[in-house]
Amino acid sequence: MKWFENWFDSKYYHILYQNRDNQEANLFIKNILTVLEPQQDSQFLDLGCGSGRHSIQINKKGFHVDGVDLSKKSLEKAIDYQNEKLKFYQEDMRNINSINKYDIVLNLFTSFGYFDNDKDHELVFQKIFKALKNNGYFIIDFFNAKKILKTHPKHIFEKKILNNILFEIEKNHDSQFIYKKIKITDGGKTYVYHEKVRLITKQKFLNYFKNLKINLKSTYGDYHLNKYNSTSSDRLILIFQKNA
Ligand SMILES: C[S@@+](CC[C@H](N)C(=O)[O-])C[C@H]1O[C@@H](n2cnc3c(N)ncnc32)[C@H](O)[C@@H]1O
């Protein structure tokens, strides 16, 4: 099993990242919708939707949303919110095959960079391009790899207790990947999970779309949509638009 099939499907992922909540999703979605002003009949695809916190917010504004994720357990939470205009599907993002279907495709909160073979990342971008209608938008929200490479120590250790569970986290990075080892102690039992995410810079994201008729429209550095600064921003948020 790959680490991302295992870790995101565990209950501990949701406990450790509990601060990545609906409030954060509301703020980001409100700002994105203000900038993009989608038509009321727009179709959204939330790729790597997790338990659906962004999909649910977009649907609350009246839009049609498909959420796609690999994690069965995360989708079980999302499915409670399904309605006529909000559907969730279990699928690997490398296997989406929609053509000219969506006005807006979203990939939010680092739901990317997980594959050992970098060709798979390019493949996902090609699939997203095909899934978009002409003039449609693609929004990717990733960590700022440049900041990590420039400012983060090579090795970080942190400990936290959440819901009476001890999380001991070792973070490392080299020039290609950021690695996390997450040791969990819960009720006398110990579990170990891993994360391994490719350090993808803005230029590399642009390269995934090379030769495709899609342009970068905006770059932001946080969920308030402040300007991106390669040294200080925590996030790298890119908005692309497919050519007509
Ligand atoms: C960091 S979480 C973010 C989830 C959600 N976007 C959010 O903001 O709460 C990354 C998500 O990507 C999903 N994922 C990982 N690999 C995937 C793949 N190959 N295809 C589809 N989803 C995948 C995980 O299951 C997980 O739910």
Task: Give first-to-last CA distance, the chain, whole Å.
Answer: 40
Distance 93 CA to ligand 1 centre (A): 9
| Closest C-alpha to ligand 1, atom 27 | 50
Ligand 1 touching residue 71 (CB < 6 A): yes
Ligand 1 touching residue 114 (CB < 6 A): yes
Minimum-distance ligand 1 atom for the alpha carbon of 51: 9
Task: Please check whether residue 150 is in contact with residue 231, taking contact to mean a CB–CB distance below 8 angstroms.
Answer: yes
**Same-domain check for residues 73 and 185:** no
Ligand 1 touching residue 110 (CB < 6 A): yes
| Closest C-alpha to ligand 1, atom 8 | 109
**Same-domain check for residues 192 and 205:** no
Ligand 1 touching residue 223 (CB < 6 A): no
Ligand 1 touching residue 50 (CB < 6 A): yes
Q: How many domains does the chain have?
A: 2
pLDDT digits (tens, 9 = 90+) for 194-237: 999 999 999 999 999 999 999 999 999 999 999 999 999 999 99
Here the CATH number for the domain that contains residue 231 is 3.40.50.150
Range from 13-22, 50-59, 110-119, 220-229 carrying the lowest mean pLDDT: 13-22
**Same-domain check for residues 76 and 166:** no
**Same-domain check for residues 17 and 117:** yes
**Same-domain check for residues 80 and 27:** yes
Ligand 1 touching residue 8 (CB < 6 A): yes
**Same-domain check for residues 28 and 85:** yes
What pLDDT score was predicted for residue 237?
98
Ligand 1 touching residue 115 (CB < 6 A): no
**Same-domain check for residues 131 and 187:** no
* pLDDT above 90 (res 23): yes
**Residue where a domain stops, chosen among 196, 218, 234:** 196
**Same-domain check for residues 120 and 19:** yes
What pLDDT score was predicted for residue 75?
97
**Same-domain check for residues 55 and 168:** no
Distance 114 CA to ligand 1 centre (A): 10
- Which domain, by its residues, includes 37? 3-144+201-242
List the one residue out of 84, 208, 79, 200 whose CA is nearest residue 149. 200
**Same-domain check for residues 191 and 216:** no
What pLDDT score was predicted for residue 227?
97
**Same-domain check for residues 157 and 109:** no
Query: Strand pairing partners for 237?
Result: 141, 220
pLDDT digits (tens, 9 = 90+) for 159-184: 999 999 999 999 999 999 999 999 99
pLDDT digits (tens, 9 = 90+) for 58-116: 999 999 999 999 999 999 999 999 999 999 999 999 999 999 999 999 999 999 999 99
Distance 82 CA to ligand 1 centre (A): 18
Q: How high is the mean pLDDT of the chain?
A: 97
What pLDDT score was predicted for residue 244?
86
**Same-domain check for residues 83 and 175:** no
* pLDDT above 90 (res 12): yes
